[in-house]
């Protein structure tokens, strides 16, 4: 299986730290020093997350030189679909990928990694030949814009990669580990609103609706700096790969301090740690493919490069994968 294309899309509207401080009691210097974020993109009135996911997929299709009808699978990792029944079929329709089965997968900020590994299984077991995996989230819809402890972190975006079976005996997905811990789910969640209403004859029902993002930042921070190095270390050891042989460390873009802490733990130089947090903040399932596409486009990631990636977030969920980028034929 080979990684042969990438694409990304972000909304036009940019919200700087200074602008955000007009809404909530915060300031540019606090946000920069505690998170590394300078601005984030926000979907405005004329766009949707399905649009962004579609644009990212189109670019990945173009890089891979694929006919949309040759795609077998579209997996959309999102926690913020336009339609709770799933938005992936709408992405399929936008692309004209009429032969692809398309469905959503929800695992918050780990969603892209979980979807990537899921799609790879279909290719590795021979069920499908070509897949698009897209991570797209619009957390701006679900942030409490008056909660300075969380709203400064998040933004909207989408990124996609194209995977296909290959004749090479060296699989592009070298290894992976995935984990969940529902016991700690309360650290970061977006729970339903409990609204019981009478239906008829004493029968009640729960009206649909969700609250806003609830986050214990310090607990999530501690979770990330403990679990990400640990899962990466296990993955590297089980695949007999040394940290020095990595070309890139591509972590979920949550906080620059988390990226630096993980790099320090493995003595990986900061030049090998991909980061675009300053421009986009945390775009949840989109961060990894958005960053990957940026580095492919500007030539930092080259064919044959070895990348260690790790996603982590709500659930709690986390995972790591080792991948070798191939690029288009």
Residues that bind ligand UT7 (CB under 6 A): 26, 30-31, 34-35, 109, 148-149, 152-153, 188, 215, 217-218, 220-221, 254-255, 282, 313
Nearest-approach distance from CB 109 to ligand UT7, in angstroms: 4
CB nearer ligand UT7, residue 17 or residue 90: 17
Distances (CA, A) of 185 to 135, 165, 215, 220: 21, 36, 10, 10
Report the distance separating Cα 317 and Cα 231, nearest Å.
12
Active-site annotation holds for 279: no
CB atoms within 10 A of CB 102: 21
Based on CB atoms, which residue is closest to ligand UT7, 30 or 103? Answer: 30
| Candidates 57, 187, 252, 255; catalytic one | 252
- Smaller CB separation from ligand UT7, 142 or 221: 221
* Angstrom distance (rounded) from CA 254 to CA 311: 9
With beta carbons less than 8 A apart as the criterion, state whether 254 and 279 touch. no
> How many other C-beta atoms can be found within 10 angstroms of the C-beta atom of residue 46?
8
Asked if 59 contacts 70 with a C-beta cutoff of 8 angstroms, the reply is no
Active site residue 187: no
CB of 18 to ligand UT7, least distance (A): 12
Select 2 or 31, whichever has its Cβ closest to ligand UT7. Answer: 31
> Between 164 and 227, whose beta carbon lies closer to ligand UT7?
227
Which residue lies nearest ligand UT7, judged by its C-beta? 217
For the bound state, the minimum distance from the C-beta of residue 154 to ligand UT7, rounded and expressed in Å, comes to 8
Direct distance between the N- and C-terminal alpha carbons of the chain, in angstroms, rounded to an integer: 13
* Alpha helix segments (H runs only) across the chain: 17-20, 28-35, 49-64, 88-95, 111-124, 148-151, 217-238, 256-266, 277-280, 287-297
Least Å from the CB of residue 175 to ligand UT7:
23
Minimum CB–partner distance for residue 253 and ligand UT7 (Å): 9
Which of 109, 187, 276, 279 is catalytic? The answer is 109
Q: Say whether 177 is catalytic.
A: no
Catalytic annotation, residues? 109, 252, 282
């Amino acid at each position: 299986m080979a990684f042969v294309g990438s694409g990304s899309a972000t909304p036009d509207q940019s919200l700087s730290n200074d602008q955000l401080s007009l809404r909530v009691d915060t300031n540019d210097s606090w946000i920069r020093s505690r998170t590394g974020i300078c601005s984030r993109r926000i979907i405005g009135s004329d766009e949707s997350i399905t649009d962004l996911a579609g644009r990212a997929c189109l670019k990945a299709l173009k890089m891979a030189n694929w006919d949309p009808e040759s795609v077998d699978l579209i997996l959309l990792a999102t926690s913020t679909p336009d339609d709770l029944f799933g938005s992936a079929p709408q992405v399929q329709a936008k692309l004209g990928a009429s032969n692809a089965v398309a469905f959503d997968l929800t695992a918050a900020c780990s969603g892209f990694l979980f979807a990537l590994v899921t799609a790879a299984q279909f290719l590795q077991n021979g069920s499908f030949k070509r897949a698009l995996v897209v991570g797209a989230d619009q957390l701006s819809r679900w942030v409490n814009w008056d909660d300075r402890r969380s709203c400064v972190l998040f933004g909207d975006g989408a990124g996609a990669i194209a995977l296909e079976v290959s004749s090479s005996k060296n699989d592009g997905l070298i290894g992976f580990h995935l984990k969940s811990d529902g016991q700690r789910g309360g650290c970061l969640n977006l729970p339903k609103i409990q609204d019981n209403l009478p239906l008829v004859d004493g029968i009640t029902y729960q009206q649909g609706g969700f609250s806003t993002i609830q986050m214990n930042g310090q607990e999530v921070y501690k979770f990330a700096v403990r679990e990400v190095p640990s899962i990466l270390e296990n993955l590297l050891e089980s695949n007999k790969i040394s940290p020095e042989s990595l070309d890139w460390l591509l972590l979920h873009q949550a906080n620059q301090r988390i990226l630096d802490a993980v790099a320090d733990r493995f003595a990986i130089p900061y030049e090998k740690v991909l980061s675009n947090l300053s421009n986009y903040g945390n775009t949840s399932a989109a961060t990894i493919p958005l960053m990957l596409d940026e580095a492919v486009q500007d030539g930092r990631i080259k064919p044959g490069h070895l990348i260690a990636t790790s996603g982590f977030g709500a659930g709690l969920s986390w995972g790591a994968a080792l991948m070798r980028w191939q690029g288009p034929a």
